C-alpha cells in the first residue's frame, strides 16, 4: 500500500528539519533537503508500525475520503 503524506520542511542552521502535520510527533532532519526527505520516509514507516502495534487487537475500520 502506498500513501502520500504532506510534509513541511524548514531550513535550519544544521540543515533541514521536516515534519508531518497529519502525524503528530513524526519529524526528522537531514543535512540536505534530499536527506531530510529520505529520513522522513523512514520516520513515517516507524510511526505507522508503532501505531499498528499499539492498536493490535482493537476494533478498527477503514474509511475512504475524497478530498479536493
CA–CA distance, 41 with 19 (Å, rounded to integer): 10
Question: Each residue of 6-54: pLDDT tens digit?
Answer: 999 999 999 999 999 999 999 999 999 999 999 999 999 999 999 999 9
- How many domains are there within the chain? 1
Q: Quick one: pLDDT band at residue 67, thresholds 50, 70, 90?
A: confident
Q: Would you state the pLDDT for residue 1? A: 76
CATH at 53 = 3.30.160.250
Q: Which of 47, 14, 6, 53 is nearest to 30 (CA)?
A: 14
Distances (CA, A) of 68 to 4, 15, 65: 14, 33, 10
User: Is the pLDDT reported for residue 68 higher than 90?
Assistant: no
Distances (CA, A) of 49 to 15, 21, 55: 27, 18, 10
Task: Give the global pTM.
Answer: 0.86
Domain range for 44: 1-68
Amino acid at each position: 500500500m502506498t500513501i502520500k503524506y504532506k510534509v513541511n520542511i524548514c531550513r535550519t542552521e544544521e540543515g533541514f528539519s521536516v515534519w508531518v502535520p497529519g502525524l503528530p510527533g513524526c519529524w526528522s532532519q537531514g543535512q540536505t533537503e534530499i536527506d531530510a526527505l529520505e529520513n522522513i520516509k523512514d520516520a513515517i514507516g516507524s510511526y505507522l508500525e508503532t501505531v499498528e502495534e499499539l492498536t493490535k487487537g482493537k476494533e478498527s475500520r477503514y474509511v475512504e475520503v475524497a478530498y479536493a
